Amino acid sequence: MIPTTNNTNDHHHHIMEDSQVSSPPSSSAAAAVVSEDAMQDSQVDESLSTTTLTTTTRTTTTSSSSNNNHNNTPPLPISPSLVGWTEPSTLQEKRSLYACGNDFVTLDQLELYPSNREYPILSQFNPEHDAIKKGYYDYNEAINKKISFFRGDVSQLEIDAVVNAANESLLGGGGIDGAIHRAAGGILRKYNALLNGCDTGCTKISPGFKLPAKYILHTVGPVGENPQKLTSAYTTCLELVEQYNIKSVAFCGISTGIFGYPLDKATFIAMHTVRQWMEIHHEKVDRIIFITFLKKEVDMYNTVAPYFFPFKPLQEK
């Protein structure tokens, strides 16, 4: 079963159903920007304007200055500097900025997906979707023990990164996109304005600001059914997980809300893409978390998960 994880506090926030590196700011400027409530908007704008941008080449990004980039570091998406904006001096300092106050959920509080439970594979289920037929995998304890499910508010998770189901403007919208922007604070919109939008199927990164998460991965899923673009949305998130050495990341259901992607097909693509990536890269992460909110999402993940992350099969007697 997919657990509902609660903090020790009674208050629990909910969300609605969906949606490089350049010279860093000085430490004082970074602290001022993150502590948005302590400064005027003009000061925030000034801090952002001092952040230079470095453009780099990527499969979805071209740049006139890319020919001058001769280092061997992996190409990264266009972004203002993240240095100094995501590294408060102490955990206590970081937590003092959370919009959710003390109502946050740590990685240790998330239940692990069953990794050693004896459970029959649900062979009676006849999937009609190609993603299931092509995506069946054997039991792998090393992978299963890095999977969690969380039913609740993604903006409460104190982890390395959360995925935001964004629109192409990256400036906020409805559903989970709006919820993340509200929780992160108005500074997120100002920061994202420097990112010059994002194409469908692509992902860009920002600091988490007032979220417990260190980073936000803003990915743009397709409106309606487009398996290639939806797969790309998950894949580009996972590319940034590698590039930024992100150890824990939470995925919401991309495009399954107001963007209208059928929940069953979107869930199959999400699980297939993540499992395929973990076949090669699971040692690079500590946890991948799938976020649910509505009961129909919980039911869908409970049905589909055993095909991509099978439990330990029953032993022959």
Q: Write the CATH number for 208.
A: 3.40.220.10
Give the pLDDT confidence score for residue 257 in this predicted structure: 85
Judging by beta carbons within 10 Å of its beta carbon (0-12, 13-18, 19+), is residue 51 exposed, middle or buried?
buried
Q: Which domain holds residue 126?
A: 105-308
Q: Are residues 188 and 143 in the same domain?
A: yes
Give the pLDDT confidence score for residue 94 in this predicted structure: 85
How many domains is the chain partitioned into structurally? 2
* 252 belongs to a structural domain: yes
Residue 288 makes CB contacts below 8 A (sequence gap 6+) with 146, 147, 148, 248, 249, 250, 251, 274, 278
* 14 belongs to a structural domain: no
The low-confidence residues of the chain, meaning pLDDT below 70, are 1-89, 115-135, 313-317
Give the pLDDT confidence score for residue 155 in this predicted structure: 93
- SS3 at position 150: strand
Give the pLDDT confidence score for residue 2 in this predicted structure: 53
Integer Cα distance of 203 and 307 in angstroms: 27
* 168 belongs to a structural domain: yes
Give the pLDDT confidence score for residue 303 in this predicted structure: 84
**Hey, which residues does 204 pair with through a beta bridge?**
218
Given 95, 114, 138, the domain boundary residue is 95
Strands 157-158 and 105-106: parallel
Cα dihedral 21/24/29/32 (nearest 10): 30
This prediction has a pTM of: 0.73
Integer Cα distance of 178 and 94 in angstroms: 22
Integer Cα distance of 291 and 271 in angstroms: 12
* 39 belongs to a structural domain: yes
Q: Are residues 157 and 228 in the same domain?
A: yes
Alpha helix positions (H), the chain: 27-34, 41-49, 91-95, 130-134, 141-144, 175-184, 186-193, 227-243, 263-281, 295-308
Give the pLDDT confidence score for residue 93 in this predicted structure: 83
Given 67, 95, 123, the domain boundary residue is 95
Q: Are residues 235 and 166 in the same domain?
A: yes
Q: Are residues 137 and 81 in the same domain?
A: no
Integer Cα distance of 191 and 170 in angstroms: 10
Given 68, 95, 122, the domain boundary residue is 95
Q: Are residues 241 and 219 in the same domain?
A: yes
